[in-house]
Amino acid sequence: MSRAVIGWDRVAAFLLGLVLLAAGLAVVAWWTGYLDDVWSAAPDTLDTTAAADLAGETWWPWALGVAGGVLVLLGLWWLLAHIPRRSAGPLRLNGSGTGGELSIDGAEAAQAAAESLTATPGVRAASGSFIRDRGELVAGLRVTIDPTADLDEVASAVEVASADLHRVLGRDDVRCRAQVLVAANPRPGGRVS
């Protein structure tokens, strides 16, 4: 969700709250008779004949249909705008200036770091991702290992891959998260400790 959508939500909620508060206070003031003190032309009874006449017009169903369609489209836009978008997009690298911009695809860099882990003994598979999570850039490494793998060796390889990724990106605002999954069964012919 973008900052513009969050800002729009807050403004719309504030305005809707003010309208509902004012309408509620007006109804209570009318019911108790205090509305006459503030507004001398306040009616004693409500007349709905104008609304009934309006509903009898031939164009009224078309106007309601168009208004309903606009509200449906607005509601769909609102729902789609609230879908969390976690992709980070290209990252601007150090060295970018007014003469040009250096950028890198963070997801590809994280995937390359993950693929370097597959050379580690006991690692079956590894994948990398790059997302924006709660305002922070996060490079994720997901590693699947054999149950017999040496955890110290795998942890050391993950630390090296994370440091290499951090050095390649050259940004202090990138965090690295590693998830190590243990396979249910050892690979046939795998290393036994």
Judge whether 192 lies within some domain: no
**What's the pLDDT score for residue 93?**
72
Do 53 and 124 fall within a single domain? no
Asked if residue 54 and residue 8 are part of one domain, the reply reads no
In a domain, 188, yes or no: no
Question: Does residue 109 sit in the same domain as residue 175?
Answer: yes
- Spell out the per-residue pLDDT of the chain, length 193, in tens: 667 888 888 999 999 999 999 999 988 988 888 888 888 888 778 788 888 898 899 999 999 999 999 999 999 998 888 887 666 667 777 766 666 677 778 888 899 999 999 999 999 999 999 888 777 888 899 999 999 899 999 999 999 999 998 888 887 888 899 999 998 887 765 554 4
187 belongs to a structural domain? no
In angstroms, the CA 166 to CA 156 distance is: 15
The per-residue b/e assignment along 81-99, b for 16 or more CB within 10 angstroms, e otherwise, is: eeeeeeebeebeeeeeeee
Domains identified in the chain, total number:
3
Q: What range defines the domain where residue 36 resides?
A: 1-41
